[in-house]
Amino acid sequence: MNWLSDFVRPKIKKTTPKEIADDLWLKCPGCGELLFSKELKKTWYVCPKCGYHLRLYLDKRLKLLFDGTYTEFDLPEIKEDPLKFKDTKRYVDRLKAYRKSTGNQDAIKVARGNIGGIKCVVAALDFAFMGGSMGMAVGEGIVKAAEYAVKNKLPLITVANSGGARMQEGILSLMQMARTTSAVNMVKENGLPFISIMADPTTGGVSASFAMLGDIHIAEKGCLIGFAGPRVIEQTIREKLPEGFQRAEYLREHGMVDVVVTRSEMKPTLVKILSILTHRKVDSEHMKSEPLKSKNTK
């Protein structure tokens, strides 16, 4: 073998823990092309060859949505590992490992700032942290975001990016479905916009709670959205699933999402919707998107 396979191979990664280094090669899950990380960062992790949307690192997601600077919320500490859960590994050890690899406390960040000049609260999940799973920390994040939105009369935007409930927190993770639903209800009942963005993947307890209750649903191109994961369905019905099943476009066809956008269209679409719902015509400058600017640099 040559130097490339020897040297580069071990560094190929599917997900994006923290912001990855500049000098890595990643394999595009769409076309199999080897992509240089420095270039991928410029295209916001969209494959320049086939347009496949790789998963976006959480801070990058927030940067994509906000105009410029944004303020992150300190989330209240929650009781950690209430079940003293242990499978092949202790849950507290798993938490430690993910905190180290992502640099984040849990699978959520809540931030406020301007989007198209409109003040908003954003609660975004992070698939890189235990599959974005929703336990008490994520639930508390959504609740805090909703409470802040109501108190300050701001639109709420959630970004779902999660496999579902966090098994390691047992019934308490299931209860987050009711908690987050109650939270977003609060926003909606106060006449404030609640926009749900779905990224790859949005399944299980997250799709079956707050993520599916938006006034408007925006899904990122090609992302997996569903209640049961494809593997569970295949095991139940014992047949292969059709092409495109449970993808964003399928969900739109079946009436479950309003708009499917590419990553570069995400922000302008969001701004347009926000400006219409808040009755404020927004400067067209904001309709342009960051990714478009850097997309030509191949």
Partner 1 sequence: MSENQPAVLDFEKKINEIEEKIKMLNALAKDSDMNIDKELNRLQQKLEKQIKMSYANLTPWQRVQIARHPERPQCLDYVNGLIEDFVPLCGDRLFADDATMIGGIGFFKGISVVVLGQEKGKDLETRVKYNFGMAKPEGYRKAQRLMSLADKFNMPVICFVDTDGAYPGIESEARGQAEAIASSIQKCLQLKVPLISVIIGMGGSGGAIAIAAANRVLMLENSIYSVISPEGCASILWRSSDKAKEAAEALKLTAQDLKSFNVIDEIIPEPEGGAHRDSVATIEKVGDCIYKHLQELLPLSREELKKQRNTKFLEMGRNLNIEA
Contact criterion met (CB below 8 Å) for 273 and 195: yes
Q: How many other CB atoms are found less than 10 A from the CB of residue 95?
A: 19
Distance in angstroms (rounded) separating the CA atoms of residues 156 and 166: 23
Q: According to the binding rule CB under 8 A, does residue 233 interact with partner 1?
A: yes
Q: Count residues contacting partner 1 (CB under 8 A)?
A: 58
**Residue with smaller CB distance to partner 1, 143 or 270:** 143
CB-count burial class (<10 Å; 0-12, 13-18, 19+) for 81: middle
Residue 256 in the binding site for partner 1 (CB under 8 A) = yes
Rounded to a whole number of angstroms, the minimum distance from the CB of residue 176 to partner 1 is 7
- Binding segment toward partner 1, per CB under 8 A, in 26-34, 121-129, 170-178, 282-290: 170-178
Cβ closest to partner 1, residue 20 vs residue 211: 211
How far apart, in whole angstroms, are the C-alpha atoms of residue 249 and residue 235?
Answer: 24
What residues from 40 to 59 belong to the interface with partner 1 (CB under 8 A)?
none
The yes or no reply on residue 292 touching partner 1 (CB under 8 A) is: no
Interface stretch with partner 1, choices 4-12, 39-47, 179-187, 284-292 (CB under 8 A): 179-187
C-alpha to C-alpha distance for 262 and 92, rounded to whole angstroms? 37
**The only residue of 155, 201, 205, 268 in contact with partner 1, by rule CB under 8 A:** 205
Is 73 near partner 1 (CB under 8 A)?
no
Q: Strands 108-115 and 216-220, how do they pair?
A: unpaired
Distance CA 223, CA 257 (A): 12
Return d(Cα 283, Cα 167) in angstroms, integer. Answer: 45
Cβ 132 to partner 1 shortest distance, Å: 15
Chosen residue from 10, 21, 79, 279 binding partner 1 by CB under 8 A: 79
The stretch among 31-39, 52-60, 113-121, 241-249 that binds partner 1 (CB under 8 A) is: 241-249
- In the complex, the residues that contact partner 1 under the rule CB under 8 A are 74, 76-79, 82-83, 85-88, 136, 139-140, 143, 165, 167, 169-179, 181-183, 185-186, 203-205, 207-213, 225-228, 232-233, 236-237, 241-242, 245-246, 254-256
